[in-house]
Amino acid sequence: MVTTPTGIVLDPKSDEPLYRQLFDQVIARIRNGTFPTGYRLPATRNLAEELKAHRNTVVRAYQDLESAGFVNSTVGRGTFVAPQPSEVRQAAEATSSPAAEALSWASLMSSATRAEPLGRSERLARALHLDGAINLNRLQPSSDLLPHELLRRCLDHVLRTSKSRALEYTTREGLPRLRSLIAQDLSRQGVPASAEDLIITTGSQQALDMVARVLINPGDPFLVDCSTYTGALNLLTIAGARLIGIPSDDEGPQLAELERHRRSGAKGFYLMPNCQNPTGRRVSAARRQALVRWSHEAGVPLIEDDYASDLNLDGQPPLPALRTLDGEVIYMGTFSKKLIPALRIGYLLCPRSLRPHLSALKHAMDLGTSALLQHALAEFLERGYLRAHLGTVQVEYRRRRDALESGLAKHLPRHVHWQHPETGLLLWLPTPASIDPEELFQESKRQGVMVAPGTVHAIRGSEGFGLRLTFCAEPPGRLVEGARRLGRAWAAVERRSKGQGTAMAGARLEVV
C-alpha cells in the first residue's frame, strides 16, 4: 500500500483499481471537508511517481473528477477543489425520506462498465469537443461528401413503390435483395460471396459484437494487434476476452510471435489487413498467405475487418482479402466510411456452419437492422450510385491526404517521418519515446487541432507512441492549417521535454 502526502492510501498493483480508489477517495475527502474549496491537488506527474503508477491513470482520474464537477484544472496553475453546492445538497437531504433515496447504482453495475479500454475511449470522447478546432481525429466523411440527394431519391422511390411493405420487419439475415447486391459487389472486389452466406448488421460494430458473443467465454484469450481499433478493444473486453497483443513488422503481424500463442487456446485473431486502424499499415500478400496457414495449423479463426474496402487512393489494385484466400475467415465490412455513416449498415460473411448461430443471436439482439434503410441502400446499389460516388470521393480523399502530408512536411521537425497512406482515410504519425502522445494531444487541443493519441488504441500504454491523424473530415486548406497547429504543439512539447531533461541533468550534477 502507498500513502500519499494528502493521506490517500492506494494499492498500486493494478492501474484500474488504483484509478477507482483515487477517484473515490478524492471525492470522499472533498465531501468530509478534508479537501476544502480551493485546495490544490498534487501535480499528476508527482502523484504518479509517488504511486509508482502510469501518469495516464492519474490524468484520467483528475479529468473524470473535473467532468463530475469536483475539481477545476487550469493549465500552468494546477488542479483545485471546486466549490460544492453543499447548501442545496443539505436541503435535499433534509427533505428526502428513506423511501426516496437513490438506489446504489454503483454497486449494481456489471464489471463491463468498468472495462479499462472503455474508460480510455470515453475519456478521449469527452475531451474532443472544442468549438472551431480543426478535426484530425474524426474518422467519417465531411458533410459535403455525403450523397444526401441520391439517398433521398432512393428513399422516395422505395416509399412510393413498396409503400407500407418497406416499413415491416425483414428476414433476420437481412433483406434478400440487399444481400444479393452486396454479394455481387464483394465479388467485384475479388471476395467470393453468396447471398446465403451474408448477414446484414447494424454497422460492422454489431458484426464484431456478434462474433465476440458467439466465440468468447469470460477469460478466453483473444489475439489482436498491439495497437488496434478502440471499438474492437471495447467490445472484446466487454465480452470477457483476455486480450493478447501481437506486434507487427513491415509486412504485418509477426509470425514468430503468433507461434508463441499457437497453443494458447485463443478463440480468434481480429485484424484489419487493408488499412489497420490506427497505423494505416497493410499486410503484405505473402504474410496474408502465412496467416491463413497459421490459422489452420493453430485452429485459431481469423476475423477480417475490411472497413476501408474500395478506398484505394493511389489506384493500386487491392491485395487479396484473407477471405479470398480462405473460406473459413470471418469477414466483415461496412458502408459507414465509403458512403454514409448514418446508414448504420454493415455485413458479415461467415462460414456456413456459423451462420445459424450468428443469425439467431442477431435476431435476439435487435430483431433486425432497419428494413427501410436496407431497401434504400439496395436501390442505391442497384442504380449504380455507389460506383459513381466512390469515383468522386476517392479523388477528393487523395487531394486531402496530399494536403495533409504537404502541411506535415512543412511544419513538423525534419526528423519526423511517417508512412505514406495508400489506402483508407488515416495517417499514423510516430512519436519518439521522449514525447508523451497524451501530452501532445493536450497541447494540440490548446493550439486548436484535434488528434488521437496512440495510447487509446494500445493494449498497453507503452505501445501507443504516435498520433492517428484523419484527413476525411476537413477540406484541404484546413488540413494544412491543422498541420501548422500540430507543428506548434509538437515544438512546445519538445521544448518542455528538453527542458525537463536539462533540469534532471543539472540535479544529477549537484548530487555528484
Domains of the chain, CATH where assigned: 2-96 (1.10.10.10), 127-139+388-511 (3.90.1150.10), 145-383 (3.40.640.10)
- Asked if residues 278 and 428 have their Cβ atoms less than 8 Å apart, the reply is yes
pLDDT at 437 over 60: yes
| Res 44: pLDDT | 84
- Asked if residues 362 and 355 have their Cβ atoms less than 8 Å apart, the reply is no
| Res 230: pLDDT | 93
pLDDT at 13 over 60: no
E strands in 75-151: 78-81, 134-135
Report helix, strand or coil for 249.
strand
Banded model confidence at residue 11, pLDDT cuts 50, 70, 90: low
| Res 2: pLDDT | 58
85-89, 202-206, 296-300: the lowest-pLDDT one: 85-89
Banded model confidence at residue 508, pLDDT cuts 50, 70, 90: very low
CA 51 to chain CA centroid, Å, is 28
| Res 509: pLDDT | 40
**27 or 135, greater pLDDT:** 135
| Res 280: pLDDT | 94
User: What is the tens place of the pLDDT at every residue in 187-196?
Assistant: 999 999 999 9
User: Which secondary-structure segment (H or E) carries 504?
Assistant: helix 476-511
The candidate with the shortest Cα–Cα distance to 278, out of 302, 299, 307, 300, is 307
C-alpha cell at 316: 493500386
CA-CA distance, 442 to 448, in Å (whole number)?
10
Over residues 48-66, mean pLDDT: 84
Average of per-residue pLDDT values in the chain: 88
CA-CA distance, 420 to 427, in Å (whole number)?
7
- Show contacts of 110-119: CB within 8 Å, 24+ apart: 112/237, 112/238, 114/16, 114/20, 115/234, 115/237, 115/238, 116/15, 116/16, 116/237, 117/230, 117/233, 117/234, 117/237, 118/234, 118/237, 118/238, 119/16, 119/19, 119/60
The candidate with the shortest Cα–Cα distance to 291, out of 364, 380, 223, is 223
- Show contacts of 366-369: CB within 8 Å, 24+ apart: 366/202, 366/206, 367/169, 367/172, 368/169, 368/170, 368/171, 368/172, 368/174, 369/174, 369/200, 369/201, 369/202, 369/206, 369/344, 369/345
pLDDT at 93 over 60: no
**124 or 439, greater pLDDT:** 439
Over residues 127-134, mean pLDDT: 77
User: What is the tens place of the pLDDT at every residue in 256-290?
Assistant: 999 999 999 999 999 999 999 999 999 999 999 99
b (16+ CB within 10 A) / e for 123-158:
bbeebbeeeebbbbbebbbeeebbbeebbebbbebb
pLDDT at 162 over 60: yes
Q: Is the dihedral of CA 390, 392, 395, 399 positive or negative?
A: negative
Question: Model-level pTM?
Answer: 0.78
51-65, 317-331, 375-389: the lowest-pLDDT one: 51-65
C-alpha cell at 10: 492506494
Q: Which residue has the cell 477471405?
A: 323
423 beta partners: 312
| Res 510: pLDDT | 45
- Asked if residues 119 and 235 have their Cβ atoms less than 8 Å apart, the reply is no
Banded model confidence at residue 511, pLDDT cuts 50, 70, 90: very low
Beta carbons within 10 angstroms of residue 66's beta carbon:
15
| Res 91: pLDDT | 44
CA 39 to chain CA centroid, Å, is 36
The candidate with the shortest Cα–Cα distance to 337, out of 472, 507, 474, is 472
pLDDT at 56 over 90: no
53-57, 206-210, 507-511: the lowest-pLDDT one: 507-511
- Asked if residues 457 and 228 have their Cβ atoms less than 8 Å apart, the reply is yes
Q: For the chain, report the end-to-end CA distance as a whole number of angstroms.
A: 32
Give helix 55-67 / helix 15-31 axis angle, nearest 10°.
Answer: 40
CA-CA distance, 72 to 92, in Å (whole number)?
24
C-alpha cell at 197: 452466406
User: What is the tens place of the pLDDT at every residue in 214-227?
Assistant: 999 999 999 999 99
Residues in the chain: 512
User: What is the tens place of the pLDDT at every residue in 316-375?
Assistant: 888 999 999 999 999 999 999 999 999 999 999 999 999 999 999 999 999 999 999 999
pLDDT at 85 over 70: no
